[in-house]
Amino acid sequence: MDDVNGAPTPAGPELNARLEFELNLYYQMKLIRAFEDRVSRLHRQNKILGGVYSGAGQEAIVTGICSALRPGDFVAPLHRDLGVFLMMGVDPGRLMAQLMGKENGLSRGKDSFLHGGDLEHGIFGSTSMLGSSLPIAVGAALKFQIKREKQVAVAFFGEGAASRGDVHEAMNFAGVRRLPVIFVCENNRFAYSTPLEKQMAIEDVAARAEAYGFKGHVVSGNDLLAVVQIAERVIGRTRDGGGPALIECKTYRYRGHSEHDPALYRDKEELLEWQSRDPIPRYEFYLEKRGHDVRHVREQIDERTRQVVQAAVDFAENDAFPEPQEALEDLYAPPAGPANLNGRS
C-alpha cells in the first residue's frame, strides 16, 4: 500500500516520522530554489529593492543545518542564505515583501533583504561586512551559557570571511569559554571573484578549528543527507554542553556574486562539473532508493512550491509601500519607563 506521496507505507510510527521528515527536507530545498529563482526574475523586472545574492546550488546547507535547530535557537545567516528564513518559519509573503521594500516586510520597508532579520524567529540580520555577525552569535551563545539555557547559536560565514579578524576573535573567545555556538562555513570557493587558493594557504577552513580548541568537520555541502547527519550530531553535542564546533560545507554557487556579476572569472567546465552534483537530483536519487515514487513526489512538490511562491509574490505586490513619515520610526528602542532628559524617572 502506498501513501499520498507515492512511498510505501512505513512499518511503524518512528519510521513514518522519519519518512515525513525526509520528504519535508525535499520540499524545503525545492521551495528555496523556486523562491530564489522567482526573486531573480523579479529583480530583472526591477521589482526588487537592493541587491540579490543567489544561493542556488547551496540549498542543502541551510536546509540540513536548520533542520537540527529548535525554537529559541539563534541564527546569523549570510546574504546568500535566504533559505534560512524559510527554514526557520518566516512567512514567505513577508519575506517577499521585505525584498520589495513593502510595509509588511520584516523591516517595514526600511532595508533590503541583505540586512533583514527576524528576531521572533531567532534570525539576526546580516551586515555588508560578512563575518561581522560571528561575534554577535558568540554573544548570544554567552547569554545561553550564563542563563544555563539549552539553546545554541549558529553563525554562517564564507571562506572569504574566514580571513577576517572578527571571525578569528569570535572563534577564539568561543573556544576559551566553551560556548554553545556552531560556526558554519559555506565554502563555495570564490570570495566574490577571488578563488580559494588566492586567499588562504590551506584547503580546509575547518583545519583552523584546532587552533581555537574545538573540532572542525568537513562535509559535502551538496549532499543533504551528509549535512543533516553532521548537523544533528554536532549541534546535539553542542546543545548538551560539548562546546563550540566548526562545520565546513564544500559547495559551489551557480551564479555570480550577485545578479549584476556575470562571473566571467570562473571556468565553465568547473561550473558544469559542480552542476552535475546538484543537491536536489542527488537527494531525489536517495528518495528513490528509499522506495518513493520520485516522479509523483516531484510533481506534487513542484505544484505546492509554485502555489506558495505565487502567493508570496501576490501578497508582496499588493502590499503598500511605507509612508514617508515612517522613516523616522523604529530608529531606537523606546525607554522602559517615563524619564526626563536627565535620565531620572
Across 121-138, average pLDDT = 91
- Of residues 198 and 147, more confidence is placed in 147
Q: Is the pLDDT of residue 255 over 90?
A: no
Would the CA dihedral through 24, 181, 76, 326 be positive or negative? positive
Give me the pLDDT at residue 113, please. 81
In this structure, of 126-135, 157-166, 257-266, 327-336, the range with the lowest mean pLDDT score is 327-336
pTM (predicted TM-score): 0.90
> How far apart are alpha carbons 265 and 318 in whole angstroms?
39
> How far apart are alpha carbons 304 and 39 in whole angstroms?
17
Q: Tens digits of per-residue pLDDT, 30-88?
A: 999 999 999 999 999 999 988 888 899 999 999 999 999 999 999 999 999 999 999 99
Across 117-140, average pLDDT = 92
Under 8 Å between Cβ of 194 and 157: no
Question: What is the Rg, in whole angstroms, of the alpha carbon atoms belonging to the chain?
Answer: 21
Domains of the chain: residue spans and CATH? 13-316 (3.40.50.970)
Mean pLDDT score across all residues of the chain:
91
What grid cell was written down for 276?
552535475
Which pLDDT band, with edges at 50, 70 and 90, does 162 fall under? very high
- Cα three-residue angle 299-302-303, rounded to 5 degrees: 85
Percentage, residues of the chain above pLDDT 90: 72
β-partners of residue 156 are 184
Residue 99 has, within 13 A of its CA and on its CB side, a CA count of 28
Contacts of 78 (CB under 8 A, 6+ apart): 126, 130, 156, 157, 158, 186
> How far apart are alpha carbons 257 and 295 in whole angstroms?
33
- Cα three-residue angle 52-42-306, rounded to 5 degrees: 105
Secondary structure, 3-state, the chain: CECCCCCECCCCHHHHHHHHHHHHHHHHHHHHHHHHHHHHHHHHCCCCCCCCCCCCCCHHHHHHHHCCCCCCCEEECCCCCHHHHHHCCCCHHHHHHHHCCCCCCCCCCCCCHHHCCEHHHCECCCCCCCCCCHHHHHHHHHHHHHCCCCCCEEEEEECCHHHCHHHHHHHHHHHHHCCCEEEEEEECCEECCEEHHHCCCCCCHHHHHHHHCCEEEEEECCCHHHHHHHHHHHHHHHHHHHCCEEEEEECCCCCCCCCCCCCCCCCHHHHHHHHCCCHHHHHHHHHHHCCCCHHHHHHHHHHHHHHHHHHHHHHHHHCCCCCHHHHHCCCCCCCCCCCCCCCCC
Across 174-178, average pLDDT = 98
Q: Is the pLDDT of residue 10 over 70?
A: no
Give me the pLDDT at residue 338, please. 60
The residue count for the chain: 345
Q: Is the pLDDT of residue 133 over 90?
A: yes
Q: Tens digits of per-residue pLDDT, 77-100?
A: 999 999 999 999 999 999 999 999
Which pLDDT band, with edges at 50, 70 and 90, does 128 fall under? confident
